Amino acid sequence: MTVDPLIELRGVNKHYGTLHVLQGIDLTVGRGEVVVVIGPSGSGKSTLCRAMNRLESIESGEIRIDGRPLPEEGKDLARLRAEVGMVFQSFNLFAHKTVLANVSLAQIKVRGRKREEADRRSRELLDRVGLAAHAEKYPAQLSGGQQQRVAIARALAMDPKALLFDEPTSALDPEMINEVLDVMRQLARDGMTMVVVTHEMGFARSAAHRVVFMADGRILEDRAPEEFFTAPRSERAKDFLSKILSH
Amino acid sequence: MDVLTENFSLYGEGFLGTLELTLYASALALVLGFVMAAFRVAPVGSFRVFGTVWVTILRNTPLTLLFFAVMLGLPRFGLVLPFELFAVLALGCYTSAFICEALRSGINTVPVGQGEAARSLGMSFTQSLGAVVLPQAFRSVIPPIGSTLIALAKNSAIAGAFSVTELLGTYKTLSELGYNIIWTFVWIAVGYLIITLSISAVFNVMEKRWGVAR
């Protein structure tokens, strides 16, 4: 498949003190592609995800978004971040604002939309994630699954080119995981470019175009999900899969 | 009681002097404290250094010394202003260091994820600070800022030693006129109480309205 690269990482390195958390990472995510990153905790997958919109700085290597190198800071970086949405493990909805205001805020501040226009768009998106009825509530009044769906709507409101998900269901009660995954599956079907760090193997199998397996700061496998899950090549991946798929 | 009724205009002038010093210096302290707090959490290193130096110098200098520095020092550099203005400058700058630190501790109570979420949506540092972090920090800094402004009201008494008309300074005139020193001070204390209790009341209302709900 010829890919039109949207996110490109070349030789990316990062240390936390003496821990070499990203070791020469090369990764390309094509437009419209869904890439699921899995691996044991501490393998660097969250750091990798956060590096893609520079919530984590990197020490060497290059990250390009849509052909342009990721700026170091300032206005250029802000502009680029608006193009790449991020969904966090802990939702991070703005606690002092209503659900509607959460989704509208950056549209107004960053995209310069009028409040009415932004609110209209926000209601559309809230409807799409099934939360139109909760627009006037505060985040603390919603369940975890609902908060995460609002967070997805908030990221979508910027009309991003790609969405990054950093363990979006890891902080959720089991019964709420599916309502979030369903929204993500729908996004994937709609052709959104997604990088998803997760432990949800079912999602990886059903929605991913590629599975990237990371361990100890390296990418060990980067393959189609069926191949990866049925015939992992590396010992590390075999070991990891045997532990999580056995129960 | 006589001392108050017979010298009402003197007390009144002193009270107004203290009130003005408190109001203007508070305004200056809040603005400067806000700016310095923003500097101290800014992504630009030189801003952070400036904010830190500002707080370190002003918070660790005795206020009286600061008054001397402003009143005697600034005119040497050709800056001659009315003493009232010098007093507002000294008080305002001094208190801004404490306001800055109170605000910064409030900023630190806001989870890191709030700022990260704002930045991940493309908001600039000023936007995420102004629209996301500070409104949440504000709730937890209402009580300490109230205390700081009460301290400012009382610290304004130092200005009296530099021939600025304010409440405490009235005792000199009154004791020269031979009034009972105890009653003179009682009425001065009442004057300060009116100001400080008003500040408390304002901040209590603010806390009820905007404070962190528990």
- Averaged over successive runs of 10 residues, the pLDDT of chain A (247 residues) comes to 83 91 94 94 92 91 91 84 94 94 95 95 95 94 94 95 94 91 94 94 92 94 93 91 77
* Subunit contact A155:B118, Cβ cutoff 8 A: no
pLDDT computed for residue B172 by the predictor: 84
Q: What is the ipTM of this complex?
A: 0.90
Long-range contacts (CB closer than 8 Å, 24 or more residues apart) made by A94-97 = A94/A139, A94/B114, A94/B117, A94/B118, A94/B132, A94/B136, A95/A138, A95/A139, A95/A140, A95/B114, A95/B136, A96/B135, A96/B136, A96/B139, A97/A138, A97/A139
Contact B123 A78 (CB under 8 A): yes
Contact (Cβ atoms closer than 8 angstroms) between residue A106 and residue A74? no
Range of the domain at B49: 2-210
Domains of chain A: 5-93+160-245 (3.40.50.300)
- Nearest partner of B46 among B54, B95, A222, A151, judged by Cα: B54
Quick one: tokens of B58? 């002003």
Phi/psi of residue A87, each to 5°? -120, 130
pLDDT value at residue A247: 57
pLDDT of residue B181: 85
Amino acid B1: pLDDT: 62
At residue B169, the pLDDT reads 85
For residues A181 and A185, what is the distance between their CA atoms, to the nearest angstrom? 6
Is the minimum CB–CB distance between B118 and chain A shorter than 8 Å? Answer: yes
H helix runs in chain B, sequence order: 2-6, 8-40, 45-60, 63-68, 74-76, 83-109, 112-120, 125-128, 134-155, 170-176, 181-210
CB pairs A-B closer than 8 Å? 68
- Count of structural domains, chain B: 1
pLDDT at B4: 81
Nearest CB to B121 within list A73, A75, A110 = A110
The reply to whether B43 touches chain A by the CB within 8 Å rule is yes
Please give the pLDDT value at position B29: 97
- Ranges under pLDDT 70 in chain B: 1, 212-214
Q: What is the pLDDT of residue B128?
A: 92
Task: Report CB contact under 8 Å: B122, A78.
Answer: yes
Inter-chain touch B120–A81, beta carbons under 8 Å:
yes
pTM: 0.83
